């Protein structure tokens, strides 16, 4: 016990040999260690000495570490031992160093994996499923983690997910530790739930919100809220809605968007109420299915806490104290029956309740009245989003919009809904209806095919998602050899478009491609192919200089012959007009008299 803190403790509790440093965080350093008594490899977490200055913390820390040590599950890093060791610091003063001896896990922290970039959606769901399995187990054991973040999640080389630091956050937050110490153990504000940011009592749904933040970060490579200070981030958790993960990663499906946004609900009663529900919906979304909207029951506030209810209110504490008072200490009532006014008030209340029940029963038995919990989905396919969403809202349902390309449905029109109106499924009030709205045809870049053989041009266009007509059109070309493509002409953007126009017979003029740079996928093109000839223009009547320039632009050789029978310097005749072999020689006669 004479080692300094700066050199780190070499032996703890007479049995744990501290090895090399393998991790460092805001509240602790982690070392590889060896349990000399059992001869096994362990991980030793040395907490900051400042955390142990309060005796209340040491008591709470020991209790929570013992509770965490009782949890044995494949998805949870086991806690083997915990305590405090008295050491001498660099000034020779005795300080308490809290330590935790844990299972050593060979793997990578999830925060390091995310640093490499967003994960594939299926892999992100697989990892968060492991985290939620650990939370489900701990919640049933009455332990709330309070600090779910990528830095507390490890993934082994075989893909096994391991969650660590159960119960330690509670040990910090329920003692007189300073705000700075508390923030060190609770992690950054990026993973705070709204109730944590407001300083309210937390329950298991706090862990589920943080798990939703972790899933968002795995899918996008960034947390849902980013700001210059932790206070601003905490404010965003409380007041600003998150955007769907697909905003940053188009590979995220609409169903997985809905799962993440459900987990990040500000109101804990609108959030997932159990880790099992969260895991089930995430797995359904990853499998390409749309999870059903979950409506919390009236008793979710207490029934979903899995043995870990919030702290008692002042009224509840008073009731408990009243039940524990000795009979001799109870106040003796001087009135042995209720006042008459109370009796009449009770009778009046019962009468009102009976009348209300009668009206309710009559309403249910009346013809043509639907139960509020059995709402059919309206058929809005083909309608605009504005009209369709209004029709859904009028049914007391919640429309959620997602856009997708469609070659057959005009932009802004509804393609389908989930559930569909034809499914016969009936929903509860407020339940979600997913609405897919057409964003128009998917557009692709038209490849350059000028100068390619016909077969190569056909492959290039079809590989880009376009259709090519079997028949080609032959046209003159100034430079391209016979059989090479001069241009690809767009003739149809859909099945109902007009057929290809007939060739005009005029020369192409240049070898440049005339097709558009982009077109809807599925559009039809016709290929124009060089005939190996040039369409020689008629230059009679033109000035000699202009005629020579025009013929030369078609890569023709021009010969000028004087014509003494006329005057004015214009062309009186030419040796060839129309289709001629490429690079031909054309003789023009020019008036010189």
State the Cα torsion 571-575-578-583 to the nearest 10°. Answer: -100
Task: Using alpha carbons, select from 52, 24, 67 the residue that is nearest to residue 177.
Answer: 52
Which entry of 35, 81, 147, 281 is annotated as an active-site residue? 147
Q: Bridge partners of 384?
A: 413
- Residue 58 CA to chain centroid, in angstroms? 41
Element (H, E) at 444: strand 443-445
Q: How wide is the angle at C-alpha 236 spanned by C-alphas 232 and 242, nearest 5°? A: 145
Contact 215, 128 (CB under 8 A): yes
The set of residues, in sequence order, having a beta carbon less than 8 Å from that of 508 and lying 6+ positions away, is 475, 476, 477, 478, 486, 487, 528
The set of residues, in sequence order, having a beta carbon less than 8 Å from that of 350 and lying 6+ positions away, is none
Our answer to whether residue 147 is catalytic in this structure is: yes
Q: Cα separation of 176 and 101, whole Å?
A: 24
Strand segments (E) across 13-163: 16-24, 28-35, 40-47, 79-88, 94-103, 108-109, 153-155, 161-163
Q: How wide is the angle at C-alpha 499 spanned by C-alphas 495 and 504, nearest 5°? A: 155
Contact 412, 385 (CB under 8 A): yes
- SS3 call for 441: coil
The set of residues, in sequence order, having a beta carbon less than 8 Å from that of 248 and lying 6+ positions away, is 118, 219, 220, 221, 222
Q: Cα separation of 403 and 385, whole Å?
A: 10
Q: Cα separation of 424 and 44, whole Å?
A: 58
Contact 60, 9 (CB under 8 A): no
Sign of the C-alpha dihedral computed for residues 464, 465, 466 and 467 taken in this order: positive
- Helical segments of 116-173, H only: 121-140, 168-173
Q: Are strands 485-492 and 161-163 parallel, antiparallel or unpaired?
A: unpaired
Q: Cα separation of 422 and 426, whole Å?
A: 11
Active-site residues, by number, are 147
């Amino acid at each position: 016990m004479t080692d300094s803190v700066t050199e780190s403790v070499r032996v703890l509790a007479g049995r744990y040999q501290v090895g090399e440093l393998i991790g460092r965080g805001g509240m602790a350093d982690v070392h590889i260690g060896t349990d000399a008594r059992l001869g096994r490899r362990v991980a030793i977490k040395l907490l900051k000495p400042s955390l142990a200055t309060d005796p209340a913390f040491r008591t709470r820390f020991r209790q929570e570490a013992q509770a965490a040590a009782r949890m044995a599950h494949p998805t949870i890093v086991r806690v083997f031992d915990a305590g405090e060791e008295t050491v001498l610091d660099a000034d020779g003063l005795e300080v308490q160093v809290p330590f935790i001896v844990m299972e050593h896990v060979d793997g990578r922290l999830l925060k390091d994996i995310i640093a490499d970039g967003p994960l594939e959606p299926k892999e992100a769901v697989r990892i968060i499923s492991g985290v939620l399995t650990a939370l489900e187990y701990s919640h049933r054991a009455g332990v709330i983690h309070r600090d779910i973040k990528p830095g507390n999640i490890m993934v082994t080389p075989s893909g096994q997910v391991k969650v660590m630091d159960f119960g330690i956050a509670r040990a910090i937050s329920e003692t007189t530790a300073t705000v700075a110490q508390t923030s060190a153990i609770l992690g950054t504000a990026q993973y705070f739930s709204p109730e944590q940011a407001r300083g309210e009592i937390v329950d298991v749904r706090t862990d589920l919100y943080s798990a939703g933040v972790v899933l968002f970060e795995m899918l996008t490579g960034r947390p849902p809220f980013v700001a210059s200070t932790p206070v601003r981030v905490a404010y965003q958790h409380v007041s600003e809605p998150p955007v769907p993960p697909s905003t940053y990663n188009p590979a995220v499906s609409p169903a997985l968007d809905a799962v993440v946004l459900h987990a990040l609900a500000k109101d804990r009663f609108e959030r997932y109420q159990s880790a099992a529900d969260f895991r089930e919906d995430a797995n359904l979304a990853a499998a390409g299915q749309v999870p059903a909207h979950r409506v919390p029951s009236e008793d979710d506030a207490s029934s979903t806490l899995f043995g870990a209810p919030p702290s008692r209110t002042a009224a509840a504490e008073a009731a408990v104290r009243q039940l524990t008072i000795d009979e001799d200490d109870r106040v003796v009532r001087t009135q042995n029956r209720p006042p008459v006014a109370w009796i009449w008030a009770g009778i009046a209340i019962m009468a009102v309740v009976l009348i209300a029940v009668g009206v309710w029963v009559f309403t249910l038995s009346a013809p043509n009245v639907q139960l509020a919990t059995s709402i059919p989905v309206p058929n809005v396919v083909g309608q605009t989003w504005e009209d369709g969403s209004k029709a859904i809202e009028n049914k007391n349902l919640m429309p959620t919009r997602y856009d997708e390309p469609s070659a057959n449905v005009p932009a802004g029109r509804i393609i389908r809904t989930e559930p569909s109106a034809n499914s016969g499924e009936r929903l509860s009030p407020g339940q979600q209806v997913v609405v897919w709205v057409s964003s128009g045809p998917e557009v692709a870049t038209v490849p350059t095919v000028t100068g390619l053989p016909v077969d190569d041009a056909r492959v290039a266009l079809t590989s880009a998602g376009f259709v090519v007509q079997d028949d080609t059109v032959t046209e003159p070309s100034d430079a391209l050899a016979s059989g090479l493509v001069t241009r690809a002409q767009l003739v149809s953007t859909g099945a109902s478009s007009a057929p290809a126009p007939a060739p005009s017979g005029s020369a192409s003029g240049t070898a440049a491609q005339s097709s558009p740079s982009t077109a809807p996928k599925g559009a039809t093109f016709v290929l124009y192919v060089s005939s190996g000839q040039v369409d020689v223009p008629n230059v009679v009547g033109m000035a000699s200089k202009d005629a020579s320039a025009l013929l030369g632009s078609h890569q023709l050789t021009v010969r000028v012959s004087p014509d003494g029978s006329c005057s004015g310097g214009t062309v009186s005749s030419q040796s060839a007009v129309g289709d001629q072999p490429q690079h031909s020689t054309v003789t023009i006669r020019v008036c010189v008299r």
